[in-house]
Structure 1
Amino acid sequence: MSIYVSHLVSNKDILSIKERYAVGIEIVNFASALSLDNKDEELDVLFKGIGNHLTGKVSVHGPYSDMSPGSPDRKIRRVTMDRFQECYELASGVLKAERIVFHSGFIPKLSYDLEWLKYSKEFWEEFLQDKQEDGIKIHIENVFEEDYKLLCELVDYINKPNFSICLDIGHKNACSTLSLEQWVKAMGKRIGYVHLHNNDGKGDLHNPLEEGTINMPEALKLLKEYSHEAAWCLEVFSKGGIESSLDYLIDCGYL
């Protein structure tokens, strides 16, 4: 089982975690598109801070603010394409990442289902046409989705081994009234990556695994049974929360 931790804490804290646990790192420095305009400075800060630990398992969270791969406006899709490509080149090049995560950009009550699906299909077909299928894995993440159907249909349509779903169980808990069991069983092997955190079912709190309304033993069991090839990443906002969550995974036999 590949386990990552998201670099949502200080360099000092992430280094301390890496010394204690056999985990990879999900880099979030470029989750803001603005950071791509200063990528040399961002890379310098990153490598000075944790460069010696950027070996082995590395994933990257792509830019998400204002990004809309399923937009009906071709100019917005083009900006999104350019930003995603910039981040992909960093991830696959200098960072030697195994994976990169992009948000779906779907917004209920604003996005029209079939329109979003049509343009998302066109976007990802174009984006993936020059990406080697045995190279970096690309995961599309649920954020505000109320159900799983559009993401499943998109992944099935693209039908490439390097393109799969990043299931964020915290986002699901805050935004969907459907059970996690329904989501995991329906998505199944389409899930290639999982963001693990907990919340109160209302806000995207990024709590440790045991702090919230998600039945975590049941969630992990479902993921292991129906999406057993997926890698997991802890997206928790505090060092103590990351450590307690890693200890929880160890106690449950997942790490």
Structure 2
Amino acid sequence: MSSLPVVGAAMTIDELENHRDWLFEKSRDLELQSFIDADVLNGDWTPRADRARKLLDGFRGRVGIHGPFWGFIIASQDPDIRAVVSRRMLQGLDVCAAIGGTHMVIHSPYTTWGYNNLDNNPGERESIIDYSHQTMRQAVKRAEEIDCTLVIENIEDKDPHIRVALAESFNSPAVAVSIDTGHAHYAHGSTGAPPVDYYVHAAGNRLGHVHLQDADGYADRHWPLGQGTVNWRAVFAALAKVESNPRLIIEIKDKSKIIASAEYLASIGVAQ
């Protein structure tokens, strides 16, 4: 039996039907992207959840969702905005409870501008952590109750360590770190951040989730794996040292290339 890590993928419920056999074959991890939008979460999403449960009947892989993120950050200074964000996160966790989801992706509050100004404005580092706690307090409690993990994904993060410290500040098993390889590669190529494998080393065993996408270091491409310039051998060598068993999720725009992306990783001997 191969000891190489097994990769899964992110997709909508419609695309789940097309990839069901591939997912079931090796109990691959799955991330559903059908519960991101506010109009879905504010409406009756139960038919979507029912359909997902039916399609996943007998599935042995881990399941989660990409949580809502459009139009906000988790560390807003505005208390009214924080209240909306808190509600969105709780709505996403309601979905997780309904479908048996055990992870939900949320976005990092750290920006490129912030990297250059965190120490320019006294107390800014502490404020971001405090605002994030105020926003996420109820969500973290709810996640603990339903055995779900909120994984904080790098977006503009130039410092691979700062988001790890934020996750650790909650002192909860329900908060972990996510790495998006394309986002890290963008930060490396365009803002002077370290390469992608450094993000993996920085996260260590706090790492719970990885979005695998290829890119060119300039934009958030979400290309099939092997099409860009991410150093996949270095990334997976770093992942081999992590003992937290993170979910490895192919997240690309062209879902028809998910299986080809997994086959590319197999062809270079790093995953299956």
Using the size of structure 1 for normalisation, the TM-score is 0.87
Match of 1:162 among 174, 198, 222: 174
Aligned length: 252
Q: Which residue of 1 aligns with 2:154?
A: 142
8 A Cα contact 2:262 2:271, kept in partner:
no
Match of 1:232 among 248, 253, 268: 248
The verdict on how the C-alpha distance between 1:246 and 1:83 changes in structure 2, with shifts beyond 3 A counting, is same
Match of 2:47 among 44, 49, 56: 44
CA distance in 2: counterparts of 1:103 and 1:123, whole angstroms: 13
Q: CA deviation at 1:18?
A: 3.4
Q: Which residue of 1 aligns with 2:31?
A: 26
Worse-matched range after superposition: 55-64 or 81-90:
55-64
Match of 1:108 among 109, 112, 129: 112
Other structure's SS at 1:127 match: helix
Q: CA deviation at 1:109?
A: 2.0
Q: Which residue of 2 aligns with 1:190?
A: 206
Q: Which residue of 2 aligns with 1:254?
A: 271
8 A Cα contact 2:215 2:221, kept in partner:
yes
5+ residue gaps, structure 2: 119-124
Q: Which residue of 1 aligns with 2:121?
A: none
The verdict on how the C-alpha distance between 1:89 and 1:159 changes in structure 2, with shifts beyond 3 A counting, is same
CA distance in 1: counterparts of 2:202 and 2:159, whole angstroms: 10
* Aligned positions of 1:29-108 closer than 5 A: 29-40=34-45, 43-45=46-48, 47-48=50-51, 51-53=54-56, 55-56=59-60, 57-92=62-97, 94-108=98-112
Q: CA deviation at 1:88?
A: 0.4
Q: CA deviation at 1:61?
A: 0.5
Q: CA deviation at 1:242?
A: 0.7
The verdict on how the C-alpha distance between 1:25 and 1:171 changes in structure 2, with shifts beyond 3 A counting, is same
5+ residue gaps, structure 1: none
Q: CA RMSD in A?
A: 2.6
CA distance in 2: counterparts of 1:220 and 1:149, whole angstroms: 19
CA distance in 2: counterparts of 1:198 and 1:244, whole angstroms: 13
Q: CA deviation at 1:52?
A: 2.0
Q: CA deviation at 1:186?
A: 1.8
Identity %: 21
Q: CA deviation at 1:12?
A: 4.6
Other structure's SS at 1:123 match: helix
Match of 1:7 among 11, 26, 29: 11
8 A Cα contact 1:184 1:227, kept in partner:
no
Letter in 2 for 1:53: L
8 A Cα contact 2:10 2:33, kept in partner:
yes
Using the size of structure 2 for normalisation, the TM-score is 0.82
* Aligned positions of 1:116-135 closer than 5 A: 116-132=128-144, 135=147
